[in-house]
Chains A and B, each alone.
Chain A
């Protein structure tokens, strides 16, 4: 329990003003009137005082009836049914509906409202021409309950006596409306009573200013004490997008392991994306529904390389390789194309070496909760005359260990990709879902790929894995589209990548 003096010194100016006028059972609205403060200021002060345990705010509801859109109009111009009757009376003999509408200045809606109401109550007789009944005349001259009720508004619902009329009007369209208002009533507690009877005009320093520092005027005064645990509203730190954070994290892991980063293009030729990777020209992956094709024709690399690739296809896949198909421009479907181009540029002195890239690949798929048409691929390869299948598994295991998976949470299974042999798939154990999750593929590039690109057969360990699944898990995202939704609230409130 804080000392009474400390509480007194921590009062905000608004609280002090409120306390001067506070009494048991006053409402916030009452206090606003007597203290000449805004109601919102009073409410803030009362809530602060409540959190200091000086008082309790009792909340009740009060229902008032107010005029609605049509109500305001009818109050001024008369109810449409009354205007209808008035027109009939003034003309003093049966007339057509059109004539009534003209005289009473009724629009279409008002006419149908009036007709319904008057017919139901037997106030008019319908026919080719319309006439008023005696009940109608009586109603017109003596019944003003609707008008009287409207004139009285706004009024607390419980105070309205004529419930029949109220019910009637409530059923009709936008004549009156019910408004619910919250009323806060003060119940002072011991501390509140004591505070309200204390001397409240303390000369406290509220904000520290350069003036106060310069003149030392703080020396004989006290600073107002703050409630340091009070909530303050939030500021947000601008951050890198979560995908950038994750990408950079993965990049750092490969750099730590001695890998060199490869740059690459997004628009590529089919030659580099497929042919150089020993994917036959009639392979299903090359069909329209998997790959984005771009207008225009791509240039092929030098003839020697093209012929070597052509020869591998024709001798091993047994078909006539078509240069036109290789020249089709596409948006890369994997960053293995970046590896192929990098390999083709390597010189004898560059071997052994290790490369990676973390960047976008594209699939011509419909966007849904589990499919994106743009994905990030984590790509890497090691070219090393002594590299083995065991080393491939070793590099991958090391990578996943650095991402936080335990030795027994990583497993390898046989896998198939046209450009590697042996091939494998990597699963990691999802600690929350308690099941194995497939993360990507890897293998040793086939000699049919390596020989044309490098000029000889050297083992090249290669892999490609998706990144989005890991990010979604970290950020608890179940709909993968949310990764690129860019909801600023979500981005501002998200935690940074701490792995």
Chain B
């Protein structure tokens, strides 16, 4: 979730009322924002990803002000028609197909408000814009641009002066050398790149990477042109609306370019019965209207329609409005209840069986241990001197945990290894899933692993333990000699129940013990509990 740091003084000014830190820290979590901390000059919050409109001082203040009853209701934004126009070159279709734009005039930036709009762009880029792939935006000084504009493409040999650069460079160079170029070049993998250009062939930006230095916004800028490009027109409109309304909240006047932005409120049908049934409340239409206005919405009881602002990106269904009403009602005000329905509890039979096996093991004075399912080939096969096939994790960030374990005994070996300094005997067991490739499927049987580690342990000691488990389950095992790289030849057996192979048992080979940097004898058992469970049922 995106974390943002808000300027406290600026936010309070936008809310329109002095509010104490105590009031703020009480209200902020209730509107659906994780409050990190409030300091002398800042408010640190985590905004849920469904509310990109709250990623700046303006949007956050707007929501809070409404929730606190200071400026409630659906806020209207006037859009002035204009003759500003741009053309779209059909070449962009294969490269970055969609664009939209708007103009805001009458602005008066200071350091704080300029930083706010830049931060908002940044946050929208990473979250709502999916790291600029889906939506990217640029803000330009309108006085430095001559209309009409063109959204077109240019080859990589084309030159312009990128933001913060001292001189013109080819696009190729910008992509290779500019910090933003390096970060986002992967988004432009065609021979031509998208370019916004004005009537004087002055470059505005190369979306989604970098603006031109020539149209840069400064503290003297009074009017801005906003460009948005991307792959998803709905998400792009939302981003545009979030930006222009943020600027309008600071006194800006919004003007169209071609026909955008469209800030008309959107509408959704709301059934009062659905609201009450889902929330477990008995709200009347006037009550719903009051709650709606607290959330910056407007409810029309006559046609059961909720109007919501065009910058809200999270309203997909009626339930999204119902949540807003619940938030306005106050999560802390709901009287909780438990319905009077009859259901029968049922333990998963296999979990029950596992716990019984656990009880037998404890009775045999074995201490239970618990390891990770993720491991590595070095431990699972190489050190164990065996050639089991493991299921590979493609993208693990750790070399130590990049396969799913195919058996349990190596997990036990690692535990014995870290316990070398502790008192012996160390007799331990673990029950857990192992992962086995069966064609294209991966099977996940549960196994019981037992390791007996002490001066006197041998095959006999482990066989007594395994026999005790079988006899507690009323099963009769047969032991057959077998070969297994992890165990001493002649001291390892394959164990079957009713001709089903269910376990390995034996004395671990000194070579294997040494591989785990130990020098204490170990005998071990690996028993397939899923198979035993099947046999018993």
Q: Which residues of A come within 8 Å of B, CB atoms?
A: 236, 238-241, 243-244, 248, 251, 254-263, 265-267, 282, 284, 288-289, 292-297, 299, 316, 318-319, 329, 331, 352-354, 360, 362, 364-367, 373-374, 384, 386-391, 393-395, 397-398, 411-416, 418, 421-424, 444, 446-448, 459, 484-489, 491-492
| Residue of B51, B127, B339, B433 contacting most chain A CB atoms (<10 Å) | B339
Q: How far is the CB of A264 from chain B (nearest CB, A)?
A: 10
B358 neighbours in A (Cβ, 8 Å): 240, 244
Name B322's contact: one of A282, A411, A422 (CB within 8 Å).
Answer: A422
Question: Which of B155-163, B196-204, B324-332, B485-493 sits within the interface?
Answer: B324-332
Tell me whether B322 and A262 are in contact (CB under 8 A). no
A485 neighbours in B (Cβ, 8 Å): 418
Name B339's contact: one of A239, A251, A387 (CB within 8 Å).
Answer: A387
Residue of A nearest to B361 (CB): A238
Name B331's contact: one of A289, A412, A487 (CB within 8 Å).
Answer: A412
Provide the main secondary structure of the chain B interface: loop
Name A366's contact: one of B48, B317, B398 (CB within 8 Å).
Answer: B398
With A238-B365, A288-B395, A422-B323 as known contacts, state yes or no: A360 contacts B343, CB within 8 Å. no
Tell me whether A414 and B334 are in contact (CB under 8 A). no
Tell me whether A484 and B442 are in contact (CB under 8 A). no
Tell me whether B419 and A488 are in contact (CB under 8 A). yes
B366 neighbours in A (Cβ, 8 Å): 238
Name A364's contact: one of B277, B316, B342, B397 (CB within 8 Å).
Answer: B397
CA distance A416 to B323 in the complex (A): 10
Q: How far is the CB of A255 from chain B (nearest CB, A)?
A: 4
Tell me whether B418 and A390 are in contact (CB under 8 A). no
CA distance A446 to B127 in the complex (A): 22
Can you list 11 pairs linking A and B with CB atoms under 8 Å apart? Answer: A260-B344, A267-B435, A267-B442, A282-B130, A284-B130, A295-B393, A374-B372, A387-B339, A391-B339, A398-B338, A459-B278
Chain B: interface residue total (CB-CB under 8 A): 85
Identify 20 new A-B residue pairs, CB closer than 8 A, beyond the known A316-B317, A412-B331, A487-B418.
Answer: A240-B362, A241-B368, A255-B346, A258-B343, A260-B344, A267-B435, A282-B134, A319-B232, A364-B396, A390-B335, A414-B30, A421-B317, A422-B322, A446-B319, A447-B317, A484-B370, A487-B422, A488-B422, A488-B428, A489-B422
Tell me whether A412 and B332 are in contact (CB under 8 A). yes
Q: How far is the CB of B172 from chain A (nearest CB, A)?
A: 28
CA distance A236 to B346 in the complex (A): 34
CA distance A487 to B48 in the complex (A): 39
Residue of B nearest to A374 (CB): B372
Tell me whether B397 and A414 are in contact (CB under 8 A). no
Report the 8 A-B pairs with minimum CB-CB distance, sorted nearest first: A388-B280, A414-B32, A390-B280, A416-B48, A422-B323, A261-B348, A394-B336, A393-B336
- Confirm or deny: B115 has a beta carbon within 8 angstroms of a beta carbon on chain A: no
CA distance A488 to B317 in the complex (A): 53
Name A389's contact: one of B232, B279, B338 (CB within 8 Å).
Answer: B279
With A259-B345, A414-B32, A448-B317 as known contacts, state yes or no: A244 contacts B278, CB within 8 Å. no
Tell me whether B327 and A414 are in contact (CB under 8 A). yes
A-contact 0/1 string along B310-324, CB 8 Å cutoff:
000000110110110
Tell me whether B370 and A241 are in contact (CB under 8 A). yes
Tell me whether A390 and B344 are in contact (CB under 8 A). no
CA distance A297 to B440 in the complex (A): 7
- Confirm or deny: B69 has a beta carbon within 8 angstroms of a beta carbon on chain A: no
Tell me whether B362 and A238 are in contact (CB under 8 A). yes
Tell me whether B348 and A263 are in contact (CB under 8 A). yes
Residue of A nearest to B31 (CB): A414
Provide the main secondary structure of the chain A interface: mixed
Q: How far is the CB of A51 from chain B (nearest CB, A)?
A: 25
| Interchain pairs with CB closer than 8 A, number | 233
With A243-B370, A255-B347 as known contacts, state yes or no: A390 contacts B317, CB within 8 Å. no
Tell me whether A484 and B440 are in contact (CB under 8 A). no
Residue of A nearest to B49 (CB): A416
A254 neighbours in B (Cβ, 8 Å): 345
Q: How far is the CB of B479 from chain A (nearest CB, A)?
A: 25
Name A388's contact: one of B29, B277, B344 (CB within 8 Å).
Answer: B277
Tell me whether B331 and A364 are in contact (CB under 8 A). no
Residue of A nearest to B50 (CB): A416
A446 neighbours in B (Cβ, 8 Å): 317, 319
CA distance A364 to B430 in the complex (A): 24
Tell me whether A486 and B370 are in contact (CB under 8 A). yes
Residue of B nearest to A446 (CB): B319
- Confirm or deny: B415 has a beta carbon within 8 angstroms of a beta carbon on chain A: yes
B348 neighbours in A (Cβ, 8 Å): 261-263
Tell me whether A388 and B370 are in contact (CB under 8 A). no
- Confirm or deny: B394 has a beta carbon within 8 angstroms of a beta carbon on chain A: yes
- Confirm or deny: B391 has a beta carbon within 8 angstroms of a beta carbon on chain A: yes
CA distance A235 to B242 in the complex (A): 67
Tell me whether B278 and A388 are in contact (CB under 8 A). yes
Tell me whether B322 and A266 are in contact (CB under 8 A). no
Tell me whether B322 and A318 are in contact (CB under 8 A). no
With A244-B368, A489-B422 as known contacts, state yes or no: A293 contacts B278, CB within 8 Å. no
B419 neighbours in A (Cβ, 8 Å): 486-489
CA distance A217 to B426 in the complex (A): 41
- Confirm or deny: B234 has a beta carbon within 8 angstroms of a beta carbon on chain A: yes
Name A413's contact: one of B30, B346, B368, B392 (CB within 8 Å).
Answer: B30
A373 neighbours in B (Cβ, 8 Å): 372, 374, 398, 401
| Residue of B279, B316, B320 contacting most chain A CB atoms (<10 Å) | B316
- Confirm or deny: B337 has a beta carbon within 8 angstroms of a beta carbon on chain A: yes
B30 neighbours in A (Cβ, 8 Å): 413-414
CA distance A412 to B335 in the complex (A): 12
Tell me whether A266 and B32 are in contact (CB under 8 A). no
- Confirm or deny: B480 has a beta carbon within 8 angstroms of a beta carbon on chain A: no
Tell me whether B336 and A295 are in contact (CB under 8 A). no
| Residue of A251, A413, A447 contacting most chain B CB atoms (<10 Å) | A413
Tell me whether B331 and A424 are in contact (CB under 8 A). yes
CA distance A390 to B369 in the complex (A): 40
| Residue of A255, A331, A459 contacting most chain B CB atoms (<10 Å) | A331
Tell me whether A389 and B372 are in contact (CB under 8 A). no
